[in-house]
C-alpha cells in the first residue's frame, strides 16, 4: 500500500490503492441496520471507532468535536457513523443524552473492529475494545484515510480529518 502522506499515526491513501473493504452490516441506535455497501456512490463515509459511553474522552470527542462540526464533515453527501462494542440500547442512551445526530453502530462481537485492525491488543484477549480510530471511505468505498491511536486519550483532530477530506475532493491526475 503506497502512502501519499504520513504524519503522526495518520495516513492518507491514494485513490489508486484500490482497497475495497469487506462489506459490513451493523445495527444502529435508531433500530435500523447500516450497510457500508449502501453508501456506494453516495459520497464519503467517515467511520469512527470509539470505546464506549463510559469513556470520557470518547464522549467529549463525539459530543464536542464531531457533532458541532457534522454539517462540514458531511458536506457533499458524506456521512458519519461511529462504532463501539456496546449494545444498541446503550448507544441509543448515549445519542439521546449527548444530542448526537449521526448513527451509532453496535459491534458486539467485534467482527468489524477486527476487520479493520483496530482492536486494542493491550487489554484482555477477550475484550472487544477498539483503539480510537477514524477511517474515511470515498464514494467508491475505497479506504482513503486511516488513523489509529494507541493512546486512549488521543483522538484524530478535526484539522486532520478536513485535510483528508480535501484530498477526496481533488480531481484525479
Global pTM reads: 0.87
Question: Which residue in 68, 15, 73, 23 sits closest to 45, CA to CA?
Answer: 73
171 pLDDT more than 60: no
In the chain, DSSP finds a helix count (H) and a strand count (E) of: 5, 9
| pLDDT band per the 50, 70, 90 thresholds, residue 170 | low
CA 39 to chain centre: 14
Span 134-158, average pLDDT: 92
Q: Domains in the chain, ordered, with CATH?
A: 5-168 (3.40.30.10)
3-class state of residue 30 by DSSP: coil
Cα(156)–Cα(141) distance, rounded to whole angstroms? 21
pLDDT value of position 123: 64
| pLDDT band per the 50, 70, 90 thresholds, residue 3 | very low
Cα(155)–Cα(128) distance, rounded to whole angstroms? 19
Nearest 5 degrees, angle CA 155-CA 3-CA 11? 5
Largest CA distance in the chain: 46
Amino acid at each position: 500500500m503506497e502512502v501519499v502522506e504520513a504524519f503522526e499515526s495518520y495516513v492518507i491513501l491514494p485513490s489508486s490503492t484500490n482497497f475495497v473493504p469487506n462489506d459490513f452490516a451493523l445495527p444502529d441506535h435508531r433500530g435500523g441496520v447500516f450497510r457500508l455497501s449502501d453508501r456506494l456512490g453516495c459520497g464519503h463515509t467517515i467511520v469512527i471507532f470509539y470505546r464506549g459511553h463510559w469513556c470520557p474522552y470518547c464522549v467529549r470527542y463525539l459530543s464536542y468535536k464531531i457533532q458541532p462540526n457534522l454539517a462540514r464533515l458531511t458536506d457533499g453527501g458524506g456521512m458519519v457513523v461511529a462504532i463501539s462494542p456496546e449494545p444498541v440500547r446503550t448507544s441509543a442512551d448515549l445519542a439521546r443524552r449527548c444530542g448526537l445526530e449521526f448513527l451509532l453502530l453496535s459491534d458486539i462481537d467485534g467482527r468489524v473492529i477486527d476487520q479493520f485492525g483496530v482492536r486494542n491488543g493491550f487489554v484482555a484477549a477477550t475484550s472487544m475494545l477498539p483503539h480510537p480510530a477514524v477511517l474515511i471511505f470515498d464514494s467508491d468505498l475505497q479506504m482513503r484515510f486511516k488513523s489509529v491511536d494507541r493512546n486512549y486519550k488521543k483522538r484524530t483532530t478535526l484539522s486532520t480529518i478536513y485535510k483528508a477530506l480535501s484530498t477526496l475532493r481533488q480531481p484525479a491526475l
